[in-house]
């Protein structure tokens, strides 16, 4: 999958979350299938980005990739913060988004290597 396709998938998934939130606000009901689909999309995005990272060579490319992921999960969480519906399924979806956000932030930090850290590693070689 090309980086452009991944970007499209990120945008489409965020739109799916927004549409579901709007539907919920309007009708106060969402099907279980819809919430499971949204959670599946979030997990698929994380896995897809992990796979895409395998083709990257530079640390900066990895950091940019995971910054995009973190932004997506932040935006998806923001969509659901205004929704006041309670329930196990919604709570599980929100929790999944929060966990994937933290994993993405961890990867951003992992790939944020400073110049002094690079020099220190180079000296070990």
Question: Tens-of-pLDDT digits for all 125 residues of the chain?
Answer: 566 777 888 999 999 999 999 888 887 778 889 999 999 999 999 999 999 999 999 989 999 999 999 999 999 999 998 887 777 888 899 999 999 999 999 999 999 877 777 677 777 76
pLDDT of residue 95: 95
User: Where are the domains positioned within the chain?
Assistant: 3-124
Nearest partner of 28 among 16, 36, 20, judged by Cα: 20
Burial of 26 (0-12, 13-18, 19+ CB in 10 A): exposed
pLDDT of residue 121: 73
The conformation of residue 125, written as its DSSP 8-state character, comes to -
- 63/44 Cα distance (integer angstroms): 19
pLDDT of residue 3: 65
Please work out, in degrees rounded to the nearest 5, the angle formed at the alpha carbon of residue 69 by the alpha carbons of 65 and 72: 140
Query: Does the global pTM surpass 0.75?
Result: yes
pLDDT of residue 66: 96
- 56/9 Cα distance (integer angstroms): 19
Instruction: Show the DSSP H helices in 1-125 as ranges.
Output: 3-27, 32-53, 59-81, 88-110, 115-124
């Amino acid at each position: 999958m090309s980086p452009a396709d991944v970007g499209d998938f990120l945008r489409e998934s965020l739109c799916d979350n927004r549409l579901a939130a709007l539907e919920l606000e309007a009708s106060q009901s969402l099907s279980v299938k819809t919430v499971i689909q949204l959670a599946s999309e979030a997990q698929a995005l994380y896995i897809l980005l992990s796979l895409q990272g395998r083709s990257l060579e530079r640390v900066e490319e990895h950091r940019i990739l995971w910054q995009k992921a973190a932004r997506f999960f932040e935006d998806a969480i923001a969509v659901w913060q205004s929704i006041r519906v309670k329930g196990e399924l919604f709570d599980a979806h929100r929790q999944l988004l929060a966990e994937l956000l933290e994993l993405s932030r961890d990867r951003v930090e992992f790939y944020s290597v400073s110049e002094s850290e690079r020099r220190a590693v180079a000296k070990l070689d």
